[in-house]
Amino acid sequence: MPQQRSDRNLLGAETYTPKLLHRFLLDMETTERSVQVWERLVELGRSVGLPFIDFIAASSYSDWRRTQFIRTSYDSTWLNELNKEPDIQKWSYFRSHALHHLTPIVIGEEFIEDYHDLPQRRRDVLRMAAERGIRAGLSVPLRLHAPPQAALITFSGDHSRADMMAILQEHGWTLNVAAMVAHQRYMTHFTDEFYERNEITEKQRELLQMVGRGLQDKQIAAELGISISALRQRMHSLMVKAELRNRAEIAALAMCTGLLPDPQFDPDTIDFLIEMDGAGTRMQSLSAQTTPSKK
C-alpha cells in the first residue's frame, strides 16, 4: 500500500525550520500505524547518508530488561550472541548513556576516544560494527511519561569523523527533533495497536475497563450477565494474552491504553503559576473556575 503523504500547505510561520525537518513533520502528521513512523524515520536517515537506524524502547526506566521492542534497519543478528556478555551489554549506548542522560551523543569507532574508557570487548564490537559500515552516528535519548519509559534512536553510517561532523553541522537539529517526534508518534500508535497485537477482543476490552473502574467480580458478572466461574475464565484468558499478573496490572493497562482517564489529570482543575521576575510575586489557582486576575 503506498504511503499517504501530507499535502497540507504550510503557513509562512511554519517554514523557519529546516526544509527537511518540516517535510518530515508533515509526514508524521499523516501516519496511522507505528510501522509508517518507522519507515519514514529510516527514509529520513537514508536521505542524509545515515541508513543504519536503531530504535530501542523499554517500558521501565529503572529496569532496562523490560524492553518493549528493538527495531533496526539492518541485519543485527550478529549482535545477539555478543550481547549476552556482561561487559558488552553493560556498555551499550542505551544502558550506559540513554538511561541516565538526555544529551545526544556521537557514537561509533570514529568517536571511541570521546566516550568512556571502554573495555576491550566493547571496543571489539565497535570495530566489528565499523567493518559492517556502522563507523559513526548520532544517538538521541528519549523519554515518555517522564520517566518511566526510556528509548534511544540512533542514526549511523559509514563515515569518517570529519564527514560525520559535517552531517551533524547540516542536519543535527533535524535529526534530534525528528527522533523526539518519531518516538512520541510511534509510541502513540504502538499503544493504540496493543489490542490488535495481542488479539484482545471487544468483550475483553470491556472487562479491562470494568476491572479498571474498581468493580469486583460479583458486580462485573452481574453487569455482564454471566456466572462468576465464566467471568474468571474470561479474566484468566485476558491475563494470559496480555501477560498480566494481577488486577492492579489490568487496571494500569486500562488507563495507559486510554480506556480510563489518567487520575493525575483532572479536567476540572487547571494550575496557574505566575512569577514576576524581580517582584517576587507568585499566584496559583487550582480551580478551573478561577483564573488569574489581569493586571
Q: How far apart are CA 40 and CA 26, in angstroms?
A: 11
- What is the model's pTM? 0.80
Instruction: Report the interhelical angle of 228-242 vs 247-256 (nearest 10°).
Output: 60
Q: How confident is the model over 1-45, as pLDDT tens digits?
A: 445 677 788 888 888 889 999 999 999 999 999 999 999 999 999
Domain 198-256, what fold? Arc Repressor Mutant, subunit A (1.10.10)
Give pLDDT, residue 49: 98
**Architecture of the domain defined by 12-192:** 2-Layer Sandwich (3.30)
| Stretch(es) of the chain classified as CATH 1.10.10.10 | 198-256
* Intervals of the chain under pLDDT 50: 1-2, 64, 288-295
Q: Please give the share of the chain, as a percent, with pLDDT higher than 70.
A: 84
Range list for CATH 3.30.450.80 in the chain: 12-192
- pLDDT at position 83 is 82
CA distance 185 to 190: 9
User: Tens digit of pLDDT for each residue in 204-241?
Assistant: 888 888 888 888 888 999 988 889 888 888 888 888 88
